[in-house]
Structure 1
Amino acid sequence: MRCLPPDDVIAALESAVFLRVISRAEFEDLRAHSPTRLRATLAQAEIGAQSGYETHARLRLRRAGFVVRSQVYVPGAGHLDNVIDDLVDLETDGREFHQDSFFDDRRRDLAVQWMGLRVLRIPATLVDTDWDYVEETVSRMVLDGRRRHDPRGRRRHDLRPP
């Protein structure tokens, strides 16, 4: 934790909990007893991200001013990687977990689209290799989603946490 950039520290810890290398209790204990200089960094960590790419995307999008919620459960679709401004679902797919689930992923996308969210499904490596393009695409999709908003100011879907 002393040697890595802050986002990598957060991604590593979130992944360690997801992979059950450390328990939630150990994670919370580590956060509570970390050196003062690391506390602000560790305060950004959340339990639930299923990959370091998801974590990096969430942190970068929040720094860009978006409201991002991770692992939002949607009936008929399951857990979504990152929901941005309740308008866009950003799915970061790693080859090792998604190459055999092409059909299921597209079926999930249909369920999410039906609820009124736009889906952006990207190869996870784009988070590292072409982030500016991903962020610009998310920005345009959020703007388009705001334009499609109900004229009375209500959203066409409800993605509040259970």
Structure 2
Amino acid sequence: MEELDALRALAPIGKRALFDLVDGRSQSGLETKTRVSMRRHGVQVRAQVFVPGVGYVDDIIGERLVVESDGYRYHSSLAQFREDRRRDLELARRGYLCLRLDNHQIMDDWPRTEDVLLTLIRNREHLWTPAQRRRHNIS
């Protein structure tokens, strides 16, 4: 992050706010687009969060809505396909709601995708219910 701070200092004053959109933990432009778009709506998004039994997930919106941004390059082999499904099952076991988005949904069909995400948020699906907190021992 020190490099990012140094670059920010070199940027014209009018462009420095763009650096606030950068999160060095994001591993792709797809993840960044999702995160930045949600934050523009005032939604809390955490990048590259470790979930036991799963590993790192791309983004968590709120407390429990996992968004995996899957580009074809790293998610097209049979082995990766199966690993992604294993992770989805483990997330479900732990009470997370996981949406697996592809390049088309993020880059070409974003208004529809964003509408689905915002609907889930309006319906409070991104937050743990009291029953889920008890069931999964979440404080």
Confirm or deny a common fold (TM above 0.5). yes
Taking the aligned partners of 1:98 and 1:38, their CA distance within structure 2 comes to: 35
Q: Which moved more, 1:30-39 or 1:91-100?
A: 30-39
- Give the residue type in structure 1 aligned to 2:115: E
- DSSP 3-state at the match of 1:43: helix
Deviation at 1:113, TM superposition (A): 1.5
Q: Could you say if the C-alpha distance between residues 155 and 57 of structure 1 is closer, same or farther in structure 2, counting changes exceeding 3 Å? A: farther
After TM superposition, where is structure 1 displaced by more than 4 Å over at least 4 residues in a row?
Answer: 151-158
Which runs of 5 or more structure 2 residues have no equivalent in the other structure?
Answer: none
Taking the aligned partners of 2:81 and 2:37, their CA distance within structure 1 comes to: 27
- Give the residue type in structure 1 aligned to 2:97: R
Q: Percent identity?
A: 33
**Structure 2 match to 1:46:** 23
1:110 to 89, 95, 99: 89
Deviation at 1:139, TM superposition (A): 2.5
* Residue 27 in structure 1 maps to residue 8 in structure 2: no
Structure-1-length-normalised TM-score: 0.73
Taking the aligned partners of 2:26 and 2:127, their CA distance within structure 1 comes to: 29
- DSSP 3-state at the match of 2:59: strand
Deviation at 1:153, TM superposition (A): 7.9
Which runs of 5 or more structure 1 residues have no equivalent in the other structure?
Answer: 1-23
- Give the residue type in structure 1 aligned to 2:84: D
Q: CA RMSD in A?
A: 2.6
Alignment map for 1:76-115 (pairs within 5 Å): 76-100=53-77, 101-115=80-94
Deviation at 1:90, TM superposition (A): 0.8
- DSSP 3-state at the match of 2:125: helix
Q: In the alignment, is the contact (CA less than 8 A) between 2:63 and 2:126 conserved in 1? A: no
Taking the aligned partners of 2:91 and 2:120, their CA distance within structure 1 comes to: 15
Taking the aligned partners of 1:152 and 1:91, their CA distance within structure 2 comes to: 22
Alignment map for 1:50-69 (pairs within 5 Å): 50-69=27-46
Which structure shows the higher helix fraction?
Answer: 2
Count of paired positions: 136
